[in-house]
Structure 1
């Protein structure tokens, strides 16, 4: 994490406390704990409980359910970055004989592998993992319900397969690999597969009466990579900061950007709800903000981690009830409260330290046909191409090291931008994936596809 942040203003702190107090009371949660991260550092923590004098602190463990999947995805991306697999590899290449081997690693990460949502047999979240000792017990006789890669269909068994893949390529249990490669380097000392005191007990709250029933806390066995972990608000705050900034001991910022990029086909209902799935992370649009993170639930527990990248604010909310407060809405509101009450103060503008004159001469106005664009150089070493009208295709480009640039987003993601020069060294035009950008609309001195009418521009006569 970065340098300590200034404390939030009293009015902001009270608004945050009010939000979780309403959530705990109206959602009838036995306890609820939350934290807010700004600039990579925790800046506020709060808790509410039904037992007077026993409010949980930031180090009390709760089960985090499917937030576990994000940890598993980090392990898989580490394998990719080390060259031990490619995300396009079919599972069969590394883990043969599962019956689901045609799905690729990326498809399993993005829940597009076509697998069933749940395991056959008793409800796996509320029954011991010993009932499913092998992958065949997790997958059943017909693991695929849909053609691989065709649609998003959330699959818990898919992440059991990814955990088995980690074990196969590392030669060690998933739990051991997770501890060694992620938890210890990030200092997540209170995160693990089994509860350690102090930890919350899981409860079911009766839907029509203010009474409770304890929920069993089963060891999930083969399904552990999909939802086993226990953690704390403090540890998840550190994890949220890592998911944005990266840590070279675990995973680079570039690989984490890839994890935060939508990777699954979007269903019509998901479009309406502003939802997309990435590689082990979810993206949701809420109240005009784009939030990335993951939710989680297991009998007796609810969990949510969300990050507002544009505001550099994250929130974690944990509760010990099977059903209760809508934790995504609560976490999203915590981000909103801080972002609106205390807007992010941008870093001071800094000029470029060094600039290549041959790049600087490309800055300015360009035309694709009659569409005007501006090419800008930025202090982070990138160039951007933006429509002058404010709407249309835009992208940032990073240097490729050979005098060209590679598009980072939108229509031009992965496309090559290059400056084409005349024999005398002057710039003729820009070429972007075969599109010709010229200094003047349909510049007759440039090789415009289709040519330029020799009579030039004219009025109606």
Structure 2
């Protein structure tokens, strides 16, 4: 999507004020949105199908929910967001959850903790997990290339791209471009010609016919196209669309009943949050519909929506998988998903970094410029935090960064209190 995918970040969590980032999905005019990378304090201010937090009876959960609601409301007010949601995740799923604000600017309808939010490029970790499952099942291999799966296109591919393996595609080291404007591809994808499978094949054919941005394996370049190509490879090998693979291999086994694709809601619907943009400084709600998200061709890079509880189910799977085999994937597979390439900090849908408060942690952010979400996962501490909002402006980045840090602080403080008791 955007060739200016920059390395900026504002979740300031430990001792440094460094800013770094990775690109996120950009909508319509290829506007760059920048994900959180380095959690630091603001300088101012059991089973994969475990039950959601709301169904886990616990007075502690209720107290935490109230505390989270108060915490989030202050942040939302300061940053002038329509809505802000947050959750704390442990090994069993969402432990506590809250959401504050309104579903749509100009409406009085309050957001709920169980509403749907678009999580943008945080979808990438899900796509990588599905591909890891296909590899464990023997359908694919980390060394599988587009030329292996699409032999009829091999002659039309640039020779260098024949070495672009799934592992390189999912770690943004395959030489796939960040900019999809060449040959009118981006405009064509917005026309949504054919099925999503056909659209992704069009993208694959167009991208791989041109020379890679760099020799596969040589350097990192964040590319949504790389994830779309990985999705197309999985589709060809299984005969199923990426959307069906996500449902069968991830959503259904985890009980993620709310998970879907594209902007939440339907045209004319008003029972879910809407995404927002700032126009001339004013909050503007974007009605759900085909133009409220990126084209389906790049769905494997970032079009999932779900509730915080269901996102928490997915993140809890990764927390558990960092320690032991799970019914969905073995521990070795999770280790591979969480390990960046040598000399890099990007694994497969996760940015990996060190933090004093959590040791080795994984994070990612996502936005389609109308929504924003961020996850921080600390496997050594057995917890993760999520923050979401229905706005894609930089204010959303700052607010979610601040919310993530406050949630982390809440977990660390409550853990210390329990240990003292």
Common fold by TM > 0.5: yes
Paired position in structure 1 for 2:331: 253
Which of 348, 354, 365 does residue 279 from structure 1 map onto? 348
Paired position in structure 1 for 2:241: 173
Paired position in structure 1 for 2:3: none
Change (3 A) 1:83 1:145: same
Paired position in structure 2 for 1:240: 315
- Does structure 1 residue 325 correspond to structure 2 residue 381? no
Post-superposition CA distance 1:261-295 (Å, at most 9, x none): 122533xxxxxxxxx21122222445643431421
Paired position in structure 1 for 2:306: 231
Paired position in structure 2 for 1:400: none
- Does structure 1 residue 56 correspond to structure 2 residue 111? yes
Paired position in structure 1 for 2:180: 119
Matches of 1:343 and 1:235, distance apart in 2: 28
Which of 263, 281, 285 does residue 209 from structure 1 map onto? 281
- Does structure 1 residue 199 correspond to structure 2 residue 268? no
Matches of 1:299 and 1:260, distance apart in 2: 26
Q: Please state how far the C-alpha of 1:304 moved relative to its aligned partner.
A: 1.4
Matches of 1:279 and 1:160, distance apart in 2: 14
Question: Highest Rg: 1 or 2?
Answer: 1
Change (3 A) 1:196 1:78: same
- Does structure 1 residue 23 correspond to structure 2 residue 75? yes
Contact persistence 1:110–1:278 (CA under 8 A)? yes
Post-superposition CA distance 1:343-388 (Å, at most 9, x none): 4979xxxxxxxxxxxxxxxxxxxxxxxxxxxxxxxxxxxxxxxxxx
Change (3 A) 1:308 1:178: same
Matches of 1:138 and 1:328, distance apart in 2: 37
Give the unaligned 5+ runs of structure 2.
1-45, 51-55
Per chain length, whose mean CA-contact separation is higher, i.e. which structure has more relative contact order (CA < 8 Å, sep 6+)? 2
Larger fraction in helix: 2
Q: TM-score, normalised by structure 2?
A: 0.71
Matches of 2:244 and 2:417, distance apart in 1: 39
Helix, strand or coil at the partner of 2:172: coil
Which of 294, 297, 302 does residue 372 from structure 2 map onto? 302
Paired position in structure 2 for 1:46: 98
Matches of 2:65 and 2:274, distance apart in 1: 28
Q: Please state how far the C-alpha of 1:218 moved relative to its aligned partner.
A: 3.6
Contact persistence 1:60–1:232 (CA under 8 A)? yes
Paired position in structure 2 for 1:184: 252
Helix, strand or coil at the partner of 1:279: coil
Helix, strand or coil at the partner of 1:265: coil
Contact persistence 2:385–2:408 (CA under 8 A)? yes
Change (3 A) 1:9 1:141: closer
Change (3 A) 1:321 1:124: farther
Matches of 2:350 and 2:364, distance apart in 1: 6
Paired position in structure 2 for 1:158: 226
1:320-359 equivalences under 5 Å are: 320-323=390-393, 324-326=395-397, 327-343=400-416
Matches of 1:190 and 1:17, distance apart in 2: 22
Give the unaligned 5+ runs of structure 1.
267-275, 347-461
Paired position in structure 1 for 2:86: 34
Change (3 A) 1:14 1:219: closer
Post-superposition CA distance 1:122-164 (Å, at most 9, x none): 7679945449931257627525111111111111000000100
Q: Please state how far the C-alpha of 1:29 moved relative to its aligned partner.
A: 1.8
Q: Please state how far the C-alpha of 1:221 moved relative to its aligned partner.
A: 2.3
